[in-house]
Copies of this chain bind each other. A is one copy, B any other.
Amino acid sequence: MIELITAPIDTDAVLRRVASPEAGAIVLFLGTTRRFSDGRETASLDYECFAEMARGKMAELEAEARRRWPLVGCAIVHRVGHLELGEASVAVAVSTPHRQSAFEAGQWLIDTLKEVVPIWKKENWTDGASGWVHPGLEVPQTKAI
């Protein structure tokens, strides 16, 4: 299951989606918006995406994970738009017969998602400034009005 949504992530629905009597293990990863990054305090975040390509890349990740591990269920849900502190921006859930492959697949999926899926986050700091996060790139910051 691949989803790109603006509503809060329904983790229960994600877990139900991968649960199966054929699976003995479920691993769920949630990425949540953290208050402090590099000593600076975040008030909220905005996520932007290139939707068609993001969905395509997420589907490729699921297909590749299914080639590498014996996944019973797999769900990748990314939220975009405005997120408050502490909310989940991404959920990755996998179910497998045995737990080792669930941990491996879950970690590979989130690691690879963060490298290849065209989604970007903008931090809105408590000091009123905001800036896009583009790893490896010095980004000019925008003062909030």
Contacts and interface: CB of A to CB of B under 8 A. Distances in A.
Interface centre among A26, A30, A36, A102 (most CB of B within 10 A): A30
Contact of A24 (B11, B32, B107): B32
B28 A24 contact: no
Nearest to A23: B32
Q: How large is the interface on A (under 10, 10 to 19, 20 to 34, 35 or more residues)?
A: 20 to 34
Nearest to A100: B107
A86 interface: yes
Interface of A: 11-12, 15, 19-36, 85-86, 88, 95, 97, 99, 102-103, 106-107, 110
A120 B113 CA distance: 38
B21 A86 contact: yes
Given A97-B34, A103-B106, A15 B11 contact: yes
